Amino acid sequence: MCGLCGYIDPWNRGGQDVLVRMADLLRHRGPDDAGVAQGEGWGLGFRRLAILDLSPNGHQPMSYGDGRFHLAFNGEIYNHVELRRDLEAEGERFRGGSDTEVLLRLLARRGEAALPLLNGMFAFALIDTERRTFLLARDRLGVKPLYYAIGGGSLRFASEPKAMLAWPGERREIDDEAVARYLALGYLPGESAIFRGHAKLPPAHVLAGSLDDPCAARTRPYWDLSLSDDPTRRPLSPGETEELEHLLRDAVRIRLRSDVPVGVFLSGGLDSGLVAACAADVPGSRPLALTVGFAEGEANETDLAQATARHVGLDHRIVPQKPDGLDRLDELAWFFDEPFGDPSALPTFTLCEAAATVGRVFLSGDGGDEAFAGYRRYVEVLRHRHVIGAAQFAGPTLRRLAGLAPALSPLRARLAKLGLPDRGCAAAFDDLPADPALAAVAHPRLRPLLAEAGAPLWTRWARSRGRATTLRQQDLDYRLYLPDDVLVKVDRASMAHSVEVRSPLLDVRLVEWAARLPRGALLDAQEGKLPLRALGRRLLPSAVERGAKRGFGVPLDAWFREPQGRALVRERLLGGHGADLGHWDRRGVGRILDVHGSGTGRGFGVLLWRLLMLEAWTRQHAARARPVEARHGARAGKPAPGCPRAPAGQASF
């Protein structure tokens, strides 16, 4: 797990100094080693977090074939041991034990045909100096990020946008359409970037082209996930449950491959509990389990996490999250690079900070809700399908009634949601894009854009028209919420503290296996994740297996009713820097703050958080790329003791 950057420029306008500046902004992703490599029309920069083969043999950028191929790779190839055996059978002889060397030799032999063979999380840049080509690629589900910008005759790319801003003359023009989409969704969908001219390589895509004409490069997919529309309702057969357990145990086993200790992020839920149970059973493995705890009881899951840890026999530690986490807005904004409004980023950040004091690699339960239909909104749609069906006929009437209700009332939001056409309320069951409250707080300049701010969601929703509603929800989450919210959150929060997070439930074999199951084997009108619950009955305490999904919630409504929270909102949004940004209307923010503070109407904690994160982002990134003051050496980018040096012939800094 590392950070990469680079350029393709026929005029060689980059140079070593530019590469060093770009990579220097990624120090937190890789504090152990750094390097650059350059050639005619190209340059690669790298920061290394040493996980496999801690020796200089793992140094990047890595070259092969007498300097023909050069690779900068961020991520982990979990099946590198098996791929190495295959390559050795073909005559390859390896110098070290890193998965980077396996990937490089595989790409040199097979090119893009190597991608379907990879089981892992990755983003990489490969240079072929003989054919004068380059290849950028990203893993199937979008676990690892890769940003790029094409213009002025060159291509720039990096693991995080802040590194691209070090390119001479790189623009910082904020895209108002992206701001509106952020306010509506709480995150930026894949086709949006906060700065004009920037883009994200989509999951399961490559960007390939010529070193001599990078502006002609085009993206193309190499994989897609097809979900079964079979409506059959049935439990898993005993054989299927055995197969699921085997797949999960093997996914955990290969993710425990590491030359540094591995721990587990343990919530009180089913998914991380199953991962912990499987990890505890791997011979020679005794990972430490970490859990975030809240003082507010409704958000606290420590009791269930402790029950799981005791049941499976793991040491357990609780990391407290307190309301003073609101003081960390600027830190979050710096490390997340683009506005990011998912409040669970805060406890994830806290958890990763604590994890960094005891380890470098941790397993998580991310991916179970998408693969096995676990989100509450899936079950609610089944439970209320008749109401949703009736609402389709009454849609125009519901929308008119919504317009008559007070703008900030819960009734208006509910009516507006039910009145969405094409069963759109199912797509927005938790949060409502174009929430009526947005019109009250958005700056008048942005209000015309709000009507189309949900377009990324509705475009994806429309592509699955005619299929089962719950399947459409699951497909939408795979293509939008998972890569652009959940995985962004985990990547930035973990990398901010030089911690690697691995997700066994995102193993491609598990994902494709679950995608083939009938819909009725995944969920019913009472609960989702039926296959995982069947497995949980074997491996977990009954209180965890039967527990309702809580999510990784943050008690924002309570926090923003306390004096400290209210004062923070007034300082940040209603005065000084925030008041002059032109992103929100001060009177509108004052209104929702008053309604929220009264405690008698609708709560606006999530919306206030989105605005605060937008304000903090502008402080950190809109003017110039500069990090907030780091509190720890790793976050300041200081090399670890005994940091391996770059081999002769390659620059290190």
Residues noted as catalytic: 2
Classify each residue of 160-191 as buried b or exposed e, where b means 16 or more C-beta atoms within 10 Å of its C-beta. bbbbbbbbeebeeebbbebbbbbbbbbbbbbe
Q: Which residue has tokens 């005994």?
A: 642
CA–CA separation, 559 and 572 (whole Å): 15
| Contact status, residue 315 vs residue 277, Cβ threshold 8 Å | no
Residue type, 441: V
CA–CA separation, 113 and 110 (whole Å): 5
Tokens of 81: 């041991």
Concatenating the DSSP letter of every residue in 512-542 gives HHHHTS-HHHH--SS-S-HHHHHHHHHHS-H
Q: Which of 488, 516, 628 has the alpha carbon at shortest distance from 190?
A: 488
CA–CA separation, 187 and 453 (whole Å): 11
Q: Which of 340, 336, 305, 302 has the alpha carbon at shortest distance from 321?
A: 302
Continuous segment of H or E residues that includes residue 255: helix 238-255
Sign of CA dihedral 262, 265, 268, 271: negative
**Distance from chain centroid for Cα 112:** 24
Q: In what order do the strands lie in the sheet with 262-265?
A: 316-321, 289-294, 262-265, 361-363, 500-502
| Contact status, residue 270 vs residue 529, Cβ threshold 8 Å | yes
164 in helix, strand or coil?
helix
| Contact status, residue 126 vs residue 70, Cβ threshold 8 Å | yes
Continuous segment of H or E residues that includes residue 20: helix 15-24
Tokens of 158: 């990096």
| Contact status, residue 461 vs residue 191, Cβ threshold 8 Å | no
Q: Which of 93, 45, 21, 22 has the alpha carbon at shortest distance from 646?
A: 45
Tokens of 623: 């003017």
Tokens of 357: 């004091």
CA–CA separation, 484 and 488 (whole Å): 6
CA–CA separation, 404 and 463 (whole Å): 32
Residue type, 54: L
In this structure, the number of other CB atoms found within 10 A of the CB of residue 640 comes to 14
DSSP single-letter state for residue 484: I
CA–CA separation, 603 and 599 (whole Å): 7
| Contact status, residue 56 vs residue 647, Cβ threshold 8 Å | yes
Residue spans of alpha helices (H) in 337-464: 345-355, 368-371, 376-383, 385-393, 395-404, 410-418, 424-427, 436-441, 447-450, 455-463
Start-to-end CA span in the chain (Å): 19
Concatenating the DSSP letter of every residue in 610-623 gives HHHHHHHHIIIIIS
Q: Which of 96, 559, 603 has the alpha carbon at shortest distance from 295?
A: 559
